[in-house]
Amino acid sequence: MSAAILTLILGTATPGGGFPLYGEAFAEMVNAQEPLLRVEPRNTKGSTENVPLLEAGRLDIALVAGEIATAALARPGTPLRVVAAMYSSPGLFIVRGDSPYRGIADLKGQPVVLGTQASGITALGKTVLESLEIKVQPIYLEKAADGPAMLIDGRAAALWGAGVGWPAFTALAKSGGRFIAPSAGEVERILARQPALQAVTLPARSYPGQDAALHSVGSWSYVLARPGLPEKTAYLLARAIHRAEAPLAARLPQASETTMANTFKAAPSAELIHPGVLKYLLEAGIAAARQ
C-alpha cells in the first residue's frame, strides 16, 4: 500500500510580482524531488497577509519578505518557523532612461510606485525613504503587475522593487530603465536606523543594461511554516529543497541563494528553524559548523 501524498498550500503574493514567479518554480522543483509531497502555490495579497494566514493555519507554508519575516520571527513566543531561506533582496528604484533623476533625494515630492500594500518589498521601500527622511507621493497598487505601465506613461517618476528577477524591473530594464541605488553614505544612514537590515548587493548584469553591481540594503526572505506543521513533513520538504537546489537555480536565477546551507546561516537562530528541517540539516552535515 503506497503512502498518501501530503499536499502543502504555499502562499505567494499578487500576480505579476516576484513571489508568484518564485513560488511556481519552487513548487515544481520540490514536487519533482519528493513524490510524497505536493506543493500547491496560491496567490495572496503578499507577506503581511501571509503571516496571519500561517498563524491561523490557513496556509501550510508561505513566502515572507525580509522585514516582515524579521519582525514576525522576532516576536516573543512566535509559533512560526523557518523552512528555507529564499534570497537576499537589495532594494532599488528604477526610473525611465530619459529621467532627470539620479539619486534618491531627487525623488522628493515625486509620485513613486512603492508596490502593493501587503508586500514586504513595499515595507522595505517605506523604511528606506523614512530612514533618509525623503518624502515622496507614494503610489500603492492592487496588483504588482500594474506598476511598470505607470512609470512608462509618466504617472510615476520611479518604481521601487528588490532582488534578482523582479518582473517589473526586468520589463522596465528591457525598455531602457535606469536604476537608482542608495549611496554609500545613505546605506550607512539606513543601517544605523534599521539594524535588522543588511548591506546587500545586486550583482552586475542581473538585469538588461545593468553593467555594474549595485549596493543597497535589504534582508533575507524566507519560506515559513505554519504552527504544528509535522516534523516528518518538514524533514521531507527540507530534503526535497536540498535536492532541488541546482535545478531551481537553473530555472530561476534569484533562486540560486535558496540552499539549505544559506538557510542555516540566514536564520535568526537555530531555534527558529523548523525542528524537521533542523533534523535534516544535522543529518546532512549542513548544521554541524554553526555554534
Segment 70-112, tens digit of pLDDT: 889 989 999 999 999 998 889 999 999 999 999 999 999 999 9
Residue indicated by cell numbers 545593468: 210
Distances 87 to 37, 103, 129, 162, 203 between C-alpha atoms, Å: 23, 26, 22, 11, 13
Q: Which of 271, 234, 286, 185 is nearest to 30 (CA)?
A: 234
For the entire predicted model, the pTM comes to 0.75
Grid cell, residue 219, equals 534582508
112 and 138 in contact (C-beta within 8 Å)?
yes
The pLDDT > 90 percentage for the chain reads 78
**Chain-wide mean pLDDT for the chain?**
93
CB atoms within 10 A of CB 93: 28
Mode of pairing for the β-strands spanning 220-225 and 61-64: antiparallel
Q: Helices (DSSP H) in 34-145: which residue ranges?
A: 47-55, 66-74, 120-131
Q: Which tens digits make up the pLDDT trace of 226-258?
A: 999 999 999 999 999 999 999 999 999 889 899
Query: DSSP secondary-structure letter at 10?
Result: E
Handedness of CA 212, 213, 218, 223 (dihedral sign): positive
Report the CATH number of the 91-218 domain: 3.40.190.10
Q: Tell me how many helices (H) and strands (E) the chain has.
A: 10, 12
The pLDDT > 70 percentage for the chain reads 98
> What average pLDDT does range 59-66 have in this prediction?
94
Report the CATH number of the 6-88+220-283 domain: 3.40.190.10
Domain borders along the chain are 6-88+220-283, 91-218
Asked whether the predicted pLDDT for residue 119 surpasses 90, the reply is: no
Per-residue confidence (pLDDT) for residue 291, from 0 to 100: 41
Confidence of residue 2 (pLDDT cuts 50, 70, 90): low
Per-residue confidence (pLDDT) for residue 16, from 0 to 100: 83
Grid cell, residue 274, equals 523548523
In terms of phi and psi (left: phi > 0; alpha: psi -120 to 50; beta: otherwise), the region of 167 is alpha
